[in-house]
Amino acid sequence: MNATGLRRDEHMERLKLFGLSSPALMLVMVILVIPVGWLFYVSFIGADGSFSLENYERMITRKSYGRIFWTTFEVSLLTTGICILIGYPLAYFMSQLPPRLANLCLIAVLLPFWTSLLVRTYAWLVLLQKNGLVNNWAISLGLWDEPIKIVHNLNGTLIGMVHIMLPFLILPAYGAMRAIDRDYIKAAANLGASPRRAFWTVFFPLSTPGLFAGALMVFVLCLGFFVTPAVLGGGKVIMVSMKIVSNIELFVNWGAASALGVVLLVLTAGVLWIASRFVNLERATGGGGH
C-alpha cells in the first residue's frame, strides 16, 4: 500500500472513531439544539401568527420586564460576589492543609454538591422560617428580640443560592491553588517580601484562573436559576427563568416565553464568550480538546 492509501485509511479510521460520538451528538441535536432553534423562531411570531418583533418590544416597553432582568442580574452578581468572599478564603485554607485533612474538607464540600438541590432549598426554607432554627437561636443568643422574616424575600434567596453555588467556586479555586508551586512563595519570602506582599503579588495572581473559572460558572448558573428563587423568594424575587415558566404555565404565551428564553440564552452565551477571552474555559469544565 502506498502513502496516499495509508493516509486515506487513517482518515477513514478517524472518521469512524469520530462517528462513535454520533449517538450523543444526535441526542443533543434532537432534544436540545432543534427545539431551542424552534423557540428562537417562535419568539419572532406575534399574536396574530405573522412575523413580528412584539415579543421583544414588550421587553423594552414594559417596566416589569426591565425589573425582572435587573433582579436576575443583581441576584447573580450578589451571589457570585458572596461566593468569592466566602469561597476563596475557604479554598485557601484547604490548600494549606496536609492532603489527608484537605480531603476531609473536600468531602464536606462535595456532600452538599451531590445532594439534591431541592432538598437543600427545602432545608433552608425550614431553617429560616419564622419559628425556625435560625430565628430561635438568634433570639436565645440575644441577637434580635422577635422572629424576623429571613425567608420569602431577597435575603433568603441569596442565602440558599450561595449555599448551592459555593462548591462550584471552591472546587476550581482549590484545584488551582493546589497546583501552585510553594517554592514561589518561599522565594518571595526569601527575597524579603512580607507575608501579605507574598500572598498578593505571588499566590493570588497564580490562583486567579481557578477563581475566575469558578466565579464564571456560578454567575452563569445563577442567570438561569429557577428552583431556589422560586421557593425561597416567596414571589418577591422574580428572575427571568421564573417569568418564562409563568408565561407558559399561566398564560400559555409561547412567544413571550421564547423571546425571554432567547435573551437569557444570548446573555449567557455573551458572558461565556467575553469570559473566554480572559479565562481558559476548559478549566471550568475539566478539560476538553487536546
Partner 1 sequence: MLNWLRSPASETQVTHGQRLWLYVFSVLILILLVIPTFIVIPMSFSDSQYLEFPPETWSLRWYRHYFGSEEWMQATRTSFTAAFLTMLVATPIGVLAAYGLHASKLPYVRAAFVLLITPMMVPLVLVAIGAFYAYVKLQILYTMTGLVLAHALLAIPLVVIVTGAALKGYDMNLENAARSLGAPRWKAFATITLPQIRFAVVTSALLSFLTSFDEVVIAMFISGGDNPTLTRNMFNALRDQIDPTIAAISTIMVLVTTFLMVLAQIFGKNKTGG
Question: Would you count residue 289 as binding partner 1 (CB under 8 A)?
Answer: yes
Question: Which residue from 44, 69, 73, 199 is in contact with partner 1, where contact means CB under 8 A?
Answer: 199
Q: Kindly identify the residues of this chain, within the stretch 215-234, that bind partner 1 according to CB under 8 A.
A: 220, 223-224, 226-227, 230-231
Question: Would you count residue 98 as binding partner 1 (CB under 8 A)?
Answer: no
Query: What are residue 45's DSSP bridge partners?
Result: 51
**Whole-number Å distance between alpha carbons of 23 and 126:** 43
Question: Would you count residue 101 as binding partner 1 (CB under 8 A)?
Answer: no
Q: What is the dihedral of CA 105, 275, 154, 234, to 10 degrees?
A: -90
For the record, the C-alpha cell of 242 comes out as: 421564573
**Minimum CB–partner distance for residue 51 and partner 1 (Å):** 19
What contacts 84, CB < 8 A, 6 or more positions away?
A: 169, 211, 215
In whole angstroms, what separates CA 59 from the centre of its chain?
24
Question: Would you count residue 41 as binding partner 1 (CB under 8 A)?
Answer: no
Question: Would you count residue 139 as binding partner 1 (CB under 8 A)?
Answer: no
Question: Which residue from 6, 31, 53, 266 is in contact with partner 1, where contact means CB under 8 A?
Answer: 31
Please check whether residue 213 is in contact with residue 283, taking contact to mean a CB–CB distance below 8 angstroms.
yes
**Locate cell 500500500: which residue?**
1
Secondary structure of residue 51 in the 3-state scheme: strand
In terms of CB distance, is 124 or 212 closer to partner 1?
Answer: 124
Question: Which residue from 53, 101, 111, 179 is in contact with partner 1, where contact means CB under 8 A?
Answer: 111
What contacts 66, CB < 8 A, 6 or more positions away?
A: 59, 60
**Minimum CB–partner distance for residue 3 and partner 1 (Å):** 18
Question: Would you count residue 246 as binding partner 1 (CB under 8 A)?
Answer: no
**Minimum CB–partner distance for residue 181 and partner 1 (Å):** 11
Choose the binding region for partner 1 from 63-71, 73-81, 108-116, 138-146 (rule: CB under 8 A).
108-116
